[in-house]
Structure 1
Amino acid sequence: MKIQDLLNKQKLHDPHPQRACSQQGMAVSATKEASAIGAKVLKSGGNAMDALAAMQFGLAVSEPFNTGLGSSGFILYYDAKTKETKVIQGHSQAPRHIQKDCFIDENENVIPFFERSTPGTAVAIPGILKAFHKGLELFGTLSWGEVIEPAVQLSKKGVEVNEMWQTGLTRFGNRLGEEAKSFFFPDGVPLTKGEIVVNHDLTAALELLQQKGVDVFYRGEIAEAIVEATKKLNGCLTAEDLEHYEAQVKTPLQASYKDVDIIVPRPPNGGGFALLYMLKLVEQLDISRYDVRSWEKYYLIAETLRIMTADKLAFMGDPAFYDIPVDGLLHPEYLQKRLKLYNFKHRNDKVAPGNPWVYDEAKKPSGLNAQPFEIGSETTHFIAADREGNIAACTSSLEHFFGSGIMVPGYGFLLNNDMTDFDPSLGGINSVEPNKFPVSMKTPTLVMKDGLPLLAIGSPGGPTIVASVLQTLIHVLDYQMDLKDAIEEPRIYNGTGPLIWWEEGIPDEAQATLEKMNYQFDEIALSMGNVQAILFDQEQKIMYGASDSSRPGVPAGAE
């Protein structure tokens, strides 16, 4: 790949608000408020980790239905001095007293998703605050209180309700518990677009975190309120669960794609493995020889997603509980066998998990079943890069829109429903077990070229996350598109079945061809994910930021 050709494609002087470039630093997120906070921290001398932490708190105020104090996430951090990348795992964990059959009814049937996603049993131990505390401790230059301050000021001022808020309340307002309803539906009327809303309880929680530190959330008065709120709704989260939670620092998973290196989190993060696995398949298929909107390109994406999903559901889990054959799944000989499933004639109805164990002999099969469930969810992704070359990226989430719908009384934040990331049935590799991490598809990603950062990227979207990241990467690396154009290029998603979700812009001819091949397209187009990205011109020291139009976020340079 010719990097200069790619950089020459960047629309440097395009005035679009979701494009930006800077030599001083860049912050990108799904809200203009959080991006502005990140850019201000960078401009005042904070580094990428400082800015990212400040953005997380800013998003807790400006996008409280997708992330917040009660969320989970994975942080990817590149240190420009050491040229090392670390993953800080703030993933939610199952409580120690959770019952394995908590999502099974008296007739031994799986409880329907809505019913199992909103009680106290849906809430996992939230890890995002411990992750950012660890990140600041290891890599930051500002104090915990300093990175919270911009969010405190934003919370006091209030934020404008945008279309994302309004859409969420219309579609998912029925998920909210009484405390949350009193905020999002004051006097029984939903907040409306253009209204300025102030969450006084959240302001108080942020100020308390400033004054007393992260421990107030995990062993102080906020912890007590979390436990009480979940127990009232039949949850089993305890003070000990919160007190003993620790964010873990991990080495990332890395693999090459053509002449670049892709860096992602390891399991129990399933998104990282999935991205590398699909890129390895696409690399052999030479996808760029087909037009970007050709039926062949969409066919290759669809079948690659199906093949990956079959293996992901069969083999991904918490490596602390069961061996995960990551090396076998990414082994060249195993991938060559999987390539035989493509035919360019029809949807292969025999896509099933393969046998990667023969290429990963040091590990042993669990003998457990594949996870049969794929549930959509909402999340957020944000990135900060400083003038010294450090890069911090995070995908954080309440899991579903509004999470569990449980707002902690007096503190104004929602709790996650990350327990729904588990297989609700019994006996699966990703089934519920105490102290276990569920498989997550969050995919914060760093692309390296000749040992230096080329691209930082990520997206929300539950199971669709990795599809959004994969396709945007292909649009940049293979089709060498302008970054914003690469993000906006219409995407598709499918699991192991025939149904394809699609975005506006997929050609009718391509759809018709795939339908003849026994695929099915959803009745209407819908936006998938919300890609945020920064492209790095290492020679000119220019950062190009771009945000997805599916949300109102913008990139903000630290000028």
Structure 2
Amino acid sequence: MTRFLRTAFLLALLATPAVQAKMPVATGTGGGAATISEQATQSAIDVLDRGGNAVDAAVAAAATLGVTDPFSCGIGGGGFMVVYLAKEQRVVTLDHRETAPAAVTSTLFIEEGREMDFYTAVSSGLSVGVPGTVRGWHEALQRYGTMSFEQVLAPAIATAEEGFTVDANFSSLIARNEGKFGRFPATAALYLRNGKALPAGTRLRNPDLARTYRLLAREGVEAFYAGPLASAIVDAVNRPPTASGISVRGGRMTLADLADYQARVRAPLRSRYRGYDLYGMPLPSSGGVTVFEALNILEGYDLKSLPRTQVEHLYLEASRLAFADRDAYLADPEYVDAPVAGLLSKAYAAQRRALIDPARAAPGPVGAGDPFAFQQDASYPLRPALRTLQPESTHTTHLTVSDKDGNVVAYTFTIEDWGGSGIVVPGYGFLLNNELTDFDFTGPHPNVPEGGKRPRSSMTPTLAFKDGRPAFSIGSPGGSTIITTVLQTIVNYIDQGLPMDQAIDAPRLSQRNGAVTDIEPGFAGSAQAQTLARLGQRWSDQAEEIGAANALVFHPDGTVTAVSEGHRHGIGSAQVQTPAR
């Protein structure tokens, strides 16, 4: 692209009309986009309108989310992208999950022979993995996009410079993290005023992040993984810049860790459910395996003929069994030979299904199954003992984009906890992840820390096809509740026959092989909860929102419906290029 055309493109972006009011559902033609932020959704549509494809638009939306949703995602983290390439009629996945620095060992979070407190580990340099997001964006654009970093980062640069108005949800997220953010002056300067959260209505600008994006637009991916920015990341990790009198643990990252980071293009995980072909992320994401195993279990029931309560009971018990296997076997495939084929075997699902009592919930956590008999090689020696579910932060973001040519992207990326480690890289305006706390702190276990290893993830970007054509996309944030959110939404949509907006807005129940099921506010006293309780289901005492899903639905007439949250996370944003009249 010539300098003239680049300048014209940037001027056109800056001349874009003000962002329209948030709407969680939109139907029309051309491309569609759904994110949790109206600015990010608008960025995707702007890029589509200017000739970009779904991959270009997804990176543009993601970069903007790094400005408007910085406590969930950004260039200090990593993620997983599932892409349908319409011309080639194939699905590819791009793994740009963070890696452990080379110096990390299995005792990373062990002090004096005991596990470190989880939240002490979170708010430290020890928890920071080598960020993969920028490398992932580069690979996506180089392989499958049509635009440059300069073009796709332009909307995010404008948003960071001009700022956006903090809403009540954004302010409340800061308030929940005042203690963590207050430890680090660069973070406090950006998100606190006199030690307190920015109030709703504040205009928030991030000129440091705008300069960082400009650096990437000008110099490309290597500006992140080498040079002054890389040195600033390493310094912030190993010697976290804290407020006076506060000390946090430093990490073990080197410039070589950044220089050596690589994204992975992986074959997608594939399964089939009631006539739909489903594609998801393979390991180190556990999301695809766990969702597909649970669906295989549920496929043995005629859910359409059952009352809602019975469907939800079976969903909870199938999720419990799949999570037992997830925690026992799944980890980075470059370090662990997980029995994925066995776990996804329909015959194995039938064996697991036989453990479900349709009239009574399991009284507590269940043991993992033995999928090795369903592998081609059944000699693998690991037979794990029952373990307590490892804590996992619940804060990530998911976006989905399609274009007029039929390409589709489902993209989940994260910095892990709300605000990640809490460490903003001084002078560069972005938060660093705490992704290494996704490892199991003690072993023996497939998911213990090791140098270069990618911690097991729950991110579950998913594409569904019917008769060879895209049918829908779905994904969500939420830590390990991502898996149950995607699973429950698929059951709601396919088996319960709910329109996608209702499938997403329905009350969420998250059973992850625990003694109780996590629920959302207002559910515990409902008639639905009481009926399920009579089947032995038990609820957590603490209720909070679960997930923040985004989806696309592709209709036989060629139209697309973009769907985001109707009430969670301050309501999501959905747009299409040409709305239906």
Q: What TM-score, normalized by structure 2, do the two folds share?
A: 0.90
Structure 1 counterpart of 2:209? 202
What do the CA deviations read for 1:402-440 (whole angstroms, capped 9, x no partner)? 000011000010000000110011321101111111110
**Pairs within 5 Å for 1:103-118:** 103-106=109-112, 108-118=113-123
Q: 1:531 aligns with which of 549, 557, 560?
A: 549
* TM superposition outliers: structure 1 runs of 4+ over 6 Å: none
What do the CA deviations read for 1:505-537 (whole angstroms, capped 9, x no partner)? 647333234434443212354221011000001
What do the CA deviations read for 1:239-296 (whole angstroms, capped 9, x no partner)? 001101111111101010011111001111100101111111111122222233x2x2
Structure 2 counterpart of 1:388? 405
Structure 2 counterpart of 1:239? 255
Query: Which runs of no fewer than 5 residues in structure 2 stay unpaired?
Result: 1-20, 241-249
- 1:160, distance to aligned residue in structure 2 (A): 1.2
**Pairs within 5 Å for 1:46-85:** 46-85=52-91
Q: 2:431 aligns with which of 400, 414, 417?
A: 414
Cα distance in 2 between the residues matched to 1:16 and 1:341: 45
Instruction: In structure 2, give the amino acid aligned to 1:481.
Output: L
Cα distance in 2 between the residues matched to 1:206 and 1:71: 15
Aligned 8 A contact 1:315 1:370 in 2: no
Cα distance in 1 between the residues matched to 2:266 and 2:386: 26
Structure 1 counterpart of 2:540? 522
Whether 2:329 is the aligned partner of 1:315: answer: yes
Instruction: In structure 1, give the amino acid aligned to 2:576.
Output: G
Cα distance in 1 between the residues matched to 2:553 and 2:415: 28
Q: What TM-score, normalized by structure 1, do the two folds share?
A: 0.94
Whether 2:464 is the aligned partner of 1:447: answer: yes
Q: 2:219 aligns with which of 206, 212, 215?
A: 212
Structure 1 counterpart of 2:10? none
Whether 2:271 is the aligned partner of 1:255: answer: yes
Instruction: In structure 1, give the amino acid aligned to 2:301.
Output: L
Cα distance in 1 between the residues matched to 2:496 and 2:533: 25
SS in 2 for 1:92: coil
SS in 2 for 1:86: strand
Instruction: In structure 1, give the amino acid aligned to 2:546.
Output: M
Compared CA separation, residues 353 and 194, structure 1 to 2 (3 A): same
Cα distance in 1 between the residues matched to 2:278 and 2:501: 20
Instruction: In structure 1, give the amino acid aligned to 2:478.
Output: G
Cα distance in 2 between the residues matched to 1:104 and 1:368: 21
Structure 2 counterpart of 1:120? 125
Structure 1 counterpart of 2:394? 377
- 1:333, distance to aligned residue in structure 2 (A): 2.1
Cα distance in 1 between the residues matched to 2:531 and 2:498: 25
Aligned 8 A contact 2:336 2:446 in 1: yes
Whether 2:112 is the aligned partner of 1:95: answer: no
Cα distance in 1 between the residues matched to 2:74 and 2:391: 24
Instruction: In structure 2, give the amino acid aligned to 1:146.
Output: Q
**Pairs within 5 Å for 1:107-506:** 108-176=113-181, 177-178=183-184, 179-233=186-240, 234-292=250-308, 294=309, 296-349=310-363, 351-362=366-377, 364-366=380-382, 372=388, 373-504=390-521, 506=523
Q: Determine what percentage of the aligned residue pairs are the same residue.
A: 31
- 1:478, distance to aligned residue in structure 2 (A): 1.5
Compared CA separation, residues 371 and 125, structure 1 to 2 (3 A): farther
SS in 2 for 1:24: strand
Structure 1 range deviating more: 438-447 or 372-381? 372-381
SS in 1 for 2:471: strand
Cα distance in 2 between the residues matched to 1:152 and 1:378: 24
What do the CA deviations read for 1:468-513 (whole angstroms, capped 9, x no partner)? 1111111111122221111101110022122111235647333234
- 1:366, distance to aligned residue in structure 2 (A): 4.2
Aligned 8 A contact 1:313 1:370 in 2: no
- 1:553, distance to aligned residue in structure 2 (A): 2.3
Aligned 8 A contact 2:367 2:385 in 1: no
- 1:332, distance to aligned residue in structure 2 (A): 2.2
Compared CA separation, residues 421 and 395, structure 1 to 2 (3 A): same
Aligned 8 A contact 2:318 2:353 in 1: no
Cα distance in 2 between the residues matched to 1:250 and 1:493: 28
- 1:331, distance to aligned residue in structure 2 (A): 1.4
Cα distance in 2 between the residues matched to 1:301 and 1:465: 15
Aligned 8 A contact 1:18 1:555 in 2: yes
SS in 1 for 2:136: helix
Structure 2 counterpart of 1:558? 577
Compared CA separation, residues 229 and 524, structure 1 to 2 (3 A): closer
Cα distance in 2 between the residues matched to 1:137 and 1:419: 28
Structure 2 counterpart of 1:29? 35
SS in 1 for 2:111: coil
Cα distance in 2 between the residues matched to 1:459 and 1:134: 23
Cα distance in 2 between the residues matched to 1:67 and 1:181: 18
Cα distance in 1 between the residues matched to 2:342 and 2:226: 41
SS in 2 for 1:152: helix
Query: Which runs of no fewer than 5 residues in structure 1 stay unpaired?
Result: 1-14
- 1:207, distance to aligned residue in structure 2 (A): 1.0
SS in 2 for 1:493: coil
Structure 1 counterpart of 2:560? 543
Aligned-CA RMSD value: 1.7
SS in 1 for 2:130: coil
- 1:347, distance to aligned residue in structure 2 (A): 2.4
